Amino acid sequence: MSDLASIDYTVDELMAVCVARQVQDGDMLVHGLATPLVAAGYMLAFRTHAPNVTFASAVGQGVVQDWAPLSITRTEEYWLGKAMANASFVVTVADVLHSFAPKEFFRPAQLDPYGNSNNIAIGKDYARPRLRLPGAGGIPDVSVFSEKMYMYVPRHSRAVFVPQLDWLSGMGHHPARKRGSGPRYLVSDLGQFDWANGSMRVVSCHADVPLRRIQAKTGFELEIAPDLGETPLPSAEEIRLLREEIDPLGVRRLETLAGTARRTLLREILARERSL
Amino acid sequence: MSASTIVPLRDVRLSMTEAVALVEPGHTLGLGGTLLYRRPVAFVYELLRQAAPPADLTLLSFTAGYASDLLVGAGNISRIQTCYFGLEVFGLAPMFTHRVNRGEVQVIEETEASLALGIRATLSGVGFIPSQAWIGTDMFQLRPDVRTVVDPYSGEELVAFPPVTCDVAVIHALVADRRGNARLNKNLGIDPELAAISRQTIITAEEVVETLTEDVHIPAVLVSGVVHAPRGAWPTSCYPHYPIDGEEVLRYIDACASEQFAEYVCQVAACAQ
């Protein structure tokens, strides 16, 4: 009766589905910068079980209660065209962010066992880092009070999951915390995780990913949930929605790629987008 | 006849060359727009076309992208004040990454709150605005100039964000009038406040009209000059007139990757050579 076993899906689709399943109907959800995998998951949630979510975006600082297919060059048609209200970034940050208490998925460049994160630079020499990162945006502001921090890591590796951060720009389950909570949840291309005991814990492994592989690609000892299982598979309808309606251009896949492969995919998407 | 009928209406229209001459060495230059949206790119091209563009600038940009990367790559920027410097889904900003990795420019590490509240401090004429942000993070090591205060009511330690100031702000508008009133789109960024904290604000505009009478985001009283710059945000977007030119952004990234930054700039800015 079920064709679950035969569903063909890719890991970016599985991660988008995992994001969608963390969304509850009625949530206020922030879209960060350059996070199309999360956007795909949010839109999927809107189209399946959460029609009453409100989206807020770093693009246009607007609130939207509608969905649109993912795009690269035309995101403003959605964020400005469908926004019910917009504000300047100063007003958004200073006046409304606290009261909205949104849920947001962050992508850390480095993450330690306690869910503290770094998006500043790789390397301890701040004046001459090994790799300067774009910057922490609003993470040092929001992470100290948020109750609803979620994380995603499209390429699980020891470069991301480190025992010690070079710089702490996002506060996790940290002794200095006065309000809010460290991250609740993380999905990577290998599994799902939480911080039920304050230290990162594997909750489920994606299909065909052995636990020892996850541990080998993590730079610290993971806790293991007593009921560790396999990540539930996407449904045929979830995959259909992602591929045919929410993200037919495949923008979400950019997050799983780097270097030349990424630039090649970007060119393909741009060519398809221009012909729309 | 009353005197008012013979006083001409203010006209602050400038050529782009006149506008870029307002930027002096050592200035803080604020760029309007966000990310790859509504950036004053034509102004940056004109600045880079100058035989001797002003040096030792501090770049102030809420989020910095393509236009900022050109300035950093050209070597005019000594300090960068931003909370995010990248090309969004297109990836890292190549010249920013290159120069910071080599220690050639200083980053004044900001966040959304430090910029927003630092702007509020300037607007309010006070020395700081307190916030719960940053406490417990390493941000204070990266910004040793930023101090904390004790909340006089609760006793809680709070960050005291210092004022953010700007010498010359450049903001690209959909339309402006000759007196300086400007209309943006809904993707405001920090532009209305940036105009208010800057000693001088230059508007580059897709269209310049006689008089704007409604939907003005930046009033003329804040504006020193208006420059007519059709497609002046390209290859960043100017919604609803044109979207991001993604191919051009990729062409820039590829040029930097093959060490053709100078050639790229000369081409887009049409240098005299």
Nearest to A127 by CA among B108, B8, B170, B71: B108
Nearest to B23 by CA among B136, B149, B229, B168: B168
Handedness of CA B11, B12, B15, B18 (dihedral sign): positive
pLDDT number for residue A2: 44
- Euclidean distance between CA atoms B31 and B43, whole angstroms: 10
Nearest to A33 by CA among A118, A104, A131: A104
Predicted confidence (pLDDT) at residue B271 exceeds the cutoff of 50: yes
Bond before B235 cis per omega within 30 degrees: yes
- Euclidean distance between CA atoms A219 and A33, whole angstroms: 26
- Euclidean distance between CA atoms B81 and B169, whole angstroms: 13
Q: Which of B109, B132, B156 sits opposite A145 (nearest CB)?
A: B132
Are A267 and B247 in contact (CB < 8 Å)? yes
Write out chain B residues lying below 8 Å of A94, CB-based. 113, 116-117, 120
**pLDDT tens digits for range B74-103:** 999 999 999 999 999 999 999 999 999 999
State the virtual CA torsion across A137, A139, A141, A142 in degrees, nearest 10. Answer: 130
What ipTM was predicted for this assembly? 0.95
Beta strands in chain B (DSSP E): 28-31, 57-60, 77-82, 106-109, 129-131, 147-150, 157-161, 166-177, 182-183, 198-209, 225-228
**pLDDT tens digits for range B202-236:** 999 999 999 999 999 999 999 999 999 999 999 99
- Is the CB of residue B169 less than 8 Å from the CB of residue B119? no
**pLDDT tens digits for range B62-74:** 999 999 999 999 9
Are B187 and A76 in contact (CB < 8 Å)? yes
* Nearest Cα residue in chain A from B185: A80
- Euclidean distance between CA atoms A216 and A212, whole angstroms: 6
Which residue of A73, A95, A120 to mutate against B (max B Cβ within 10 Å)?
A73
**pLDDT tens digits for range B8-37:** 889 999 999 999 999 999 999 999 999 999
pLDDT number for residue B128: 98
Bond before B54 cis per omega within 30 degrees: no
- Successive 10-residue mean pLDDT values, chain A, 276 residues: 66 98 97 93 98 93 94 91 93 90 96 98 97 97 97 98 98 97 98 97 97 98 98 97 97 92 94 90
Report how far apart, in Å, the C-alpha atoms of A57 and of each of A62, A88, A111, B235, B259 are: 6, 12, 24, 22, 35
Handedness of CA B143, B76, B247, B16 (dihedral sign): positive
* DSSP codes joined into one string, A116-185: -EE-SEESS-TTS-SEE-S--TTHHHHTTT-S-EEEEESS--TTTB-SS-SS--B--S-TT--SS-S--E
Using pLDDT thresholds of 50, 70 and 90, give the confidence band for residue B3: low
Q: Which of A74, A121, A138 sits opposite B111 (nearest CB)?
A: A138
pLDDT more than 70, % of chain B: 98
Predicted confidence (pLDDT) at residue B240 exceeds the cutoff of 50: yes
Q: Which of A135, A178, A273 sits opposite B83 (nearest CB)?
A: A135
- Euclidean distance between CA atoms A55 and A40, whole angstroms: 12
Report how far apart, in Å, the C-alpha atoms of B219 and of each of B78, B178, B182, B228 are: 31, 12, 6, 17
Q: Which of A90, A94, A168 sits opposite B138 (nearest CB)?
A: A168
Q: Give me B198's structure tokens.
A: 């800057």
Write out chain A residues lying below 8 Å of B133, CB-based. 140-141, 144
Walk me through the domains of chain B, giving residue ranges and CATH numbers. 10-113+165-266 (3.40.1080.10), 128-161 (no CATH)
pLDDT number for residue A206: 98
C-alpha distance from A230 to closest chain B C-alpha (Å): 31
**pLDDT tens digits for range B122-137:** 999 999 999 999 999 9
Beta strands in B27-164 (DSSP E): 28-31, 57-60, 77-82, 106-109, 129-131, 147-150, 157-161
Walk me through the domains of chain A, giving residue ranges and CATH numbers. 1-104+235-276 (no CATH), 107-234 (3.40.1080.10)
Are B246 and A60 in contact (CB < 8 Å)? no
Q: Which of A62, A120, A141 sits opposite B113 (nearest CB)?
A: A141
Which residue of B35, B36, B69, B84 to mutate against A (max A Cβ within 10 Å)?
B84
Q: Give me A145's structure tokens.
A: 């009070």
